[in-house]
A and B are shown apart, each in its own frame.
Chain A
Amino acid sequence: AQSVAQPEDQVNVAEGNPLTVKCTYSVSGNPYLFWYVQYPNRGLQFLLKYITGDNLVKGSYGFEAEFNKSQTSFHLKKPSALVSDSALYFCAVKNNAGNMLTFGGGTRLMVKP
């Protein structure tokens, strides 16, 4: 079985400061890892993915994520947060054999001016 943990329900950060949203996963085989963002009253939007290659993945809106195999983590990062980054962020995982994505419980990011 595959699973995703997002240990923080909410992350608060001041505008201009770096942000990190944590994600750890459990999956058999090689992991395919994803981050999605959800703005209020909207569906989920794809941010970035790790399939293979460089451990540091760059995505939309200046976000990046670092794949760490030994720690089974895929933390989302941004060097300088914007108020408009405030949203709900979901981490997801699948293995290279299956079709099903398993999502974490989500982390609400609040960026204060």
Chain B
Amino acid sequence: NAGVMQNPRHLVRRRGQEARLRCSPMKGHSHVYWYRQLPEEGLKFMVYLQKENIIDESGMPKERFSAEFPKEGPSILRIQQVVRGDSAAYFCASSEVGATSYGYTFGSGTRLTVV
């Protein structure tokens, strides 16, 4: 079991470019969660998705950010027209249905640097 796979591990983008972060959940997990961690700060919830559905996007900035979890393939967090303030580590987590006893399994994160 490969766990939660995130790629790329590191991503450098110039201001104004688009960033696409991918997350493949753990086998058997149908729930995906995205978090952002700014340098020296805690985890901030962004969005919670199930296959083809956004369940809770209350933590997503209103502009430039979007997320999807299609029927086939990984979940994608997309940031359009990146700015320096988007530089952060973005973590994906997955859980089985109901996230009952096991909480989340986290990926190793994508570290986005905007130059």
- Report A's interface with B, CB cutoff 8 A: 32, 34, 36, 41-46, 49, 51, 90, 92, 94, 98-106
Contacts and interface: CB of A to CB of B under 8 A. Distances in A.
Interface of B: 4, 6, 31, 33, 35, 41-43, 45, 48, 55-56, 91, 93, 95, 98-109, 111
A60 to B, nearest CB: 13
Contact of A104 (B33, B42, B109): B42
A43 B42 contact: no
A44 B4 CA distance: 11
B99 A101 contact: yes
B104 A101 contact: yes
A100 B48 contact: yes
A34 B41 CA distance: 19
B106 A103 contact: no
A46 B102 CA distance: 9
Nearest to A94: B99
B79 to A, nearest CB: 19
A29 to B, nearest CB: 13
A49 B103 contact: yes
B42 A34 contact: no
Given A32-B101, A49-B103, A42 B108 contact: yes
B101 A90 contact: no
